Copies of this chain bind each other. A is one copy, B any other.
Amino acid sequence: MTASRPVLVVHGTDRPGIVAAVTRVLADFEANIVSLDQYSTDPVGGQFFQRTEFNVPEFLAIKPQLQAALVETVGEGLGLDWTLSDISVPKRVAILASLTDHNLLDLLWRQRRGEINMTVPMVVSNHTVVAEDVRGFGVPFFHVPSQGPDKSAAEAEILALLKGNVDLVVLARYMQILSDDFIGQVGVPVINIHHSFLPAFIGASPYRKAKERGVKLVGATAHYVTKDLDEGPIIEQDVVRVDHADTVEELTRKGAEVERQVLSRAVKWHCEDRIVRAGHQTIVF
């Protein structure tokens, strides 16, 4: 049996004494802090963020009392938001894909090798080309076609599949634009990989645009999906060097390498509860 790895994330209005109060609660339960990261947006009067991973012999046994103590001290006492999770419990992640398989297969491999602590209860695609590969990993594959301008039926079908079954949705080069309704109803975070260094080359065909502009680096951006396309909070970005001799195809190939790294890091960090959303930005501990 895997040992528990409890993580407490706290955020809200900063003031003196928060760390002391929060860690006092943990100390009262004989919890040993494994790592603590803290960030305040300002020395005085800013926003406070704290992630604490701790070790305690019988986490499941003490969890109800610990939660009650956090409600009292952190929630009611200090007026802060908090979440308590056990990152040894894998997150349930649905992957949405289209024709491009590289981000999808990369995530499935990393899951199988134990690099990302997640289960993948389903892959959903508007095409069937990846079905066999996905099922080869022992993962259910669902085909939800999406033709024509009205995506509402397809989105409803996807929502029905996801409902109650997943903790995170990953768009692994899912080339359909999700409606505001979908985003509003999905009920779990959605991570997307955009194949450019945002905010450069927003929108379609970023590698073609990059070639035309003659850039010397191409990149990728993983971000949470919000109703503003390509404007969600950025989780991770990276770039790779290119030169004048690289064709659009070569840019695409080099960029795909970066897309895999960036998306896998973002999903891994999310599954370890390292990311706190703060308005249009992310704090990554």
Contacts and interface: CB of A to CB of B under 8 A. Distances in A.
A30 interface: yes
Contacts of A105: 109
Contact of A198 (B17, B200, B278): B200
Interface residues of A, number: 65
A197 interface: yes
Chain A contact residues, majority secondary structure: mixed
Interface of A: 14-21, 23-24, 26-27, 30-40, 43-44, 50, 55, 101-102, 105, 109, 113, 115, 136, 197-201, 212-217, 219, 233-239, 243-245, 253, 257, 261, 278, 280-284
Contacts of A55: 43-44
Number of copies: 4
A52 to B, nearest CB: 8
Given A113-B102, A244-B282, A27 B32 contact: no
B40 A34 contact: yes
A236 to B, nearest CB: 6
A32 B15 contact: yes
A237 B216 contact: yes
Given A35-B38, A213-B234, A214-B234, 4 more contacts: A19-B27, A39-B244, A239-B239, A243-B284
Contact of A236 (B15, B101, B216): B216
Given A214-B280, A216-B237, A257-B261, A32 B20 contact: no
Given A15-B32, A32-B15, A281-B214, A39 B245 contact: yes
